[in-house]
């Protein structure tokens, strides 16, 4: 992982000077020149520029318009940016793009706030049943923590799903880590009295007599259904780039189901230019089980563009998420919902021994290990697994914690993460959840524990370089907009009002959270994340100057152009 050191900045500055032609010398002609821009490079040696030259998909030179004019050849395309602010291409550090397009297009909509209640959600389900054949699986999308949000302060029950769909198996997702299944679905999954676990790690909640309530946590690996291979290919080739490009994204870490990898490999081998750069992490079961012994079979084919398609690592879930009370916590959750796992401390999906083995497996294959940790008890398991692996093999290996400190983080965990940073620890965070989950966190965890979450300024001051992400799954459809998240971390406006304002970050750090820090979190800091000679020519052109407008207008900013490798892949109409 590239460190943000003065030596690196000095090298880039020297390289920039070397690439500028001397007096009387002809410059290498550029493929394309972008001029009349207000470029924020995020490079300390040259923080601003007026124009850039691009050749072979990479920045050839960055500087003034007079500097860059020397690179104009007879075949050079020149694009005038109209004086707009330009930042490095935005990078989504943690997202589920396949699931997003599937849920967006195929699932019954029960997403709050457009769907305000259980009653309306059941009406929408009944409408889908009327147009479905008996036996067809039906999936319903609710945003996370819907039990805190629906008017009834609960989610639909198994009995209500049975009444609405007596002849169809139904899965209602309450966020990405909890679902309610009706009786037909439970029977299809082989769940009966006394069943507590699904084969791939999902937990089944039961009543006092051992009968399943219908609530399943982290069970989506066991639930059948997915798009057909042709649909998946279309998503990766066209649908995913289109959605992310229009929001300014040029790269993503795509967390991908194991069974989708062969389709993505075929897409990568097709030879068509990629409008988004995929770094791929794969999961099979929540605890990491079911992955192939030889992880190299997940590599992209040799003919694929390595800057656009790369198998990066594997992911496991240590726990669920605090918003649906399944994040594994030291303290019990406050209050009670019928969806609570036994004991009131959340769900432990991957215990310490299994987490240790998962990390060892990734590192033995020289792959990135990604551990999802939401609650503080899960975080301790994750940190211990990485501390142990470093002690056994101190060579630098990229490793990541997903959702680090988003829901809760104590100072000891902060210091442990700081100590791991030098061994190339990266963290992904989801700042958009400030606008959606603070109220639920306070209700579920209490105000004091809730205040320990979303401490982005503290993370930055500790040198942890939090990599922002959408964590899109198709549940919160608006989360793909990074500018809403940038406004949230700058203003600290949450769904519960201004939340812990001392944790506000600067606009420049908000941009870093979506550019250079995500690049480093996927091991690509040397090739993307800033605008500098030699790096991939990825840029996002903004509708307004994000550094000049009032902070409460940042959410109104849009991507006017998205540029990948010097090619304009999106223009806002």
The contacts of residue 269 (CB under 8 Å, 6+ apart) are 300, 301, 303, 304
- Give the number of other Cβ atoms within 10 Å of residue 425's Cβ: 24
- Over residues 346-351, mean pLDDT: 95
Judged against a pLDDT cut of 70, whether residue 14 lies above it is answered with: no
523 φ/ψ angles, rounded to the nearest 5 degrees: 75, 20
What pLDDT was estimated at residue 12?
A: 38
What pLDDT was estimated at residue 540?
A: 99
Write down the mean pLDDT value for the chain.
Answer: 93
Pair of tokens at residue 51 = 């124009």
Judged against a pLDDT cut of 80, whether residue 15 lies above it is answered with: no
pLDDT digits (tens, 9 = 90+) for 167-199: 999 999 999 999 999 999 999 999 999 999 998
* Gyration radius of the chain over CA positions: 24
More confident residue, 219 or 54: 54
What pLDDT was estimated at residue 3?
A: 40
What pLDDT was estimated at residue 220?
A: 86
pLDDT digits (tens, 9 = 90+) for 265-290: 999 999 888 899 999 999 999 999 99
Q: Which of 9-13, 254-258, 373-377, 391-395 is least confident? A: 9-13
Judged against a pLDDT cut of 80, whether residue 152 lies above it is answered with: yes
Terminal Cα-to-Cα distance of the chain (whole angstroms):
37
Judged against a pLDDT cut of 80, whether residue 1 lies above it is answered with: no
More confident residue, 391 or 161: 161
Q: Which of 8-22, 146-160, 303-317 is least confident? A: 8-22
Judged against a pLDDT cut of 70, whether residue 228 lies above it is answered with: yes
What pLDDT was estimated at residue 520?
A: 97
- CA–CA distance, 62 with 246 (Å, rounded to integer): 25
- Which CATH fold topology does 101-217 show? Diaminopimelate Epimerase; Chain A, domain 1 (3.10.310)
- CA–CA distance, 86 with 562 (Å, rounded to integer): 10
Per-residue pLDDT band at 337 (split at 50, 70, 90): confident
- Over residues 457-478, mean pLDDT: 96
Q: Which of 212-216, 284-288, 395-399, 410-414 is least confident? A: 395-399
What pLDDT was estimated at residue 338?
A: 85
Helix extents (H) in 404-548: 411-421, 438-445, 447-450, 456-461, 482-491, 507-513, 516-521
Judged against a pLDDT cut of 70, whether residue 17 lies above it is answered with: no
Judged against a pLDDT cut of 70, whether residue 24 lies above it is answered with: no
What pLDDT was estimated at residue 448?
A: 97
Cβ(385)–Cβ(371) under 8 Å? yes
What pLDDT was estimated at residue 105?
A: 86
Q: Helix, strand, or coil here: 479?
A: helix
What pLDDT was estimated at residue 21?
A: 55
Task: Tell how far CA 315 is from the center of its chain.
Answer: 12
What pLDDT was estimated at residue 20?
A: 52
What pLDDT was estimated at residue 26?
A: 54
What pLDDT was estimated at residue 200?
A: 85
Angle formed at CA 169 by CA 120 and CA 230, multiple of 5 degrees: 95
Domain ranges of the chain: 101-217
- Over residues 501-518, mean pLDDT: 98
Cβ(86)–Cβ(42) under 8 Å? no
pLDDT digits (tens, 9 = 90+) for 477-499: 999 999 999 999 999 999 999 99
From the number of C-beta atoms within 10 Å of its C-beta (0-12, 13-18, 19+), residue 73 rates as middle
Per-residue pLDDT band at 114 (split at 50, 70, 90): very high
Whether a cis peptide bond, with omega within 30° of 0, leads into 306 is no
């Amino acid at each position: 992982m590239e460190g943000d050191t003065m030596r690196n900045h000095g090298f880039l500055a020297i390289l920039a000077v070397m690439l500028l032609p001397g007096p009387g010398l002809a410059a290498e002609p550029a493929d394309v020149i972008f001029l009349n821009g207000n470029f924020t490079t995020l490079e300390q040696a040259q923080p601003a520029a007026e124009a850039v030259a691009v050749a072979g998909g990479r920045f050839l030179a960055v500087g003034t318009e007079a500097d860059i004019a020397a690179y104009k050849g007879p075949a050079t395309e020149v694009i005038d940016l109209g004086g707009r602010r330009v930042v490095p291409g935005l990078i989504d550090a943690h997202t589920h793009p396949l699931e997003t397009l599937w849920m967006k297009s195929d699932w019954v909509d029960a997403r709050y706030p457009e769907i305000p209640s259980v009653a309306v959600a059941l009406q929408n389900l009944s409408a889908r049943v009327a147009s479905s054949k008996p036996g067809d699986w039906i999936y319903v999308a609710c945003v996370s923590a819907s039990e805190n949000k629906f008017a009834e302060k609960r989610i639909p029950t198994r009995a209500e799903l049975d009444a609405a769909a007596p002849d169809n198996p139904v899965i209602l997702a309450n966020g990405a880590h909890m679902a309610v299944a009706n009786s037909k679905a439970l029977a299809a999954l082989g769940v009966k009295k006394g069943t507590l676990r699904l084969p791939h790690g999902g937990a089944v909640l039961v009543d006092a007599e051992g009968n399943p309530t219908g609530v399943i946590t982290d069970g989506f690996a066991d639930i059948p259904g997915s798009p057909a291979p042709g649909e998946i290919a279309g998503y990766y080739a066209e649908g995913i780039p289109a959605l992310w490009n229009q929001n300014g994204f040029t790269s993503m870490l795509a967390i991908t189901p194991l069974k989708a990898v062969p389709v993505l490999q075929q897409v990568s081998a097709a030879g068509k230019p990629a409008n988004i750069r995929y770094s791929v992490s794969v999961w099979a079961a929540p605890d990491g089980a079911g992955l192939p012994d030889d992880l190299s079979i997940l590599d992209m084919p040799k003919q694929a563009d390595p800057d656009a398609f790369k198998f990066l690592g594997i992911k496991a879930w240590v726990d669920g998420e605090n918003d649906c009370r399944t994040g594994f916590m030291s303290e019990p959750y406050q209050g009670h919902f019928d969806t609570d796992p036994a004991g009131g401390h959340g769900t432990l999906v991957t215990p310490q021994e299994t987490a240790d083995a998962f990390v060892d497996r990734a590192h033995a294959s020289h792959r990135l290990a990604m551990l999802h940790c939401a609650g503080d008890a899960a975080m301790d398991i994750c940190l211990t697994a990485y501390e142990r692996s470093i002690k056994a093999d101190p060579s630098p290996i990229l490793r990541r914690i997903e959702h680090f400190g988003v829901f809760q983080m104590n100072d000891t965990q902060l210091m442990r993460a700081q100590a791991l940073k030098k061994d190339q620890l990266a963290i992904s965070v989801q700042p958009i959840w400030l606008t959606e989950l603070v109220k639920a966190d306070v209700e579920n965890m209490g105000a004091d524990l809730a205040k320990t979450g979303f401490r982005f300024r503290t993370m930055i001051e500790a040198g942890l370089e939090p990599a922002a992400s959408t964590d899109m799954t198709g549940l919160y459809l608006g989360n793909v907009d990074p500018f809403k998240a940038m406004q949230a971390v700058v203003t600290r406006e949450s769904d519960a009002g201004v939340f812990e304002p001392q944790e506000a970050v600067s606009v420049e750090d908000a941009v870093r959270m979506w550019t250079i820090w995500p690049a480093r979190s996927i091991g690509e800091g040397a090739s993307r994340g800033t605008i500098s000679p030699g790096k991939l020519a990825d840029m996002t052109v903004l509708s307004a100057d994000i550094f000049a407008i009032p902070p409460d207008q940042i959410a109104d900013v849009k991507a006017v152009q998205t540029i990948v490798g010097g090619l304009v892949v999106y223009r806002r109409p």
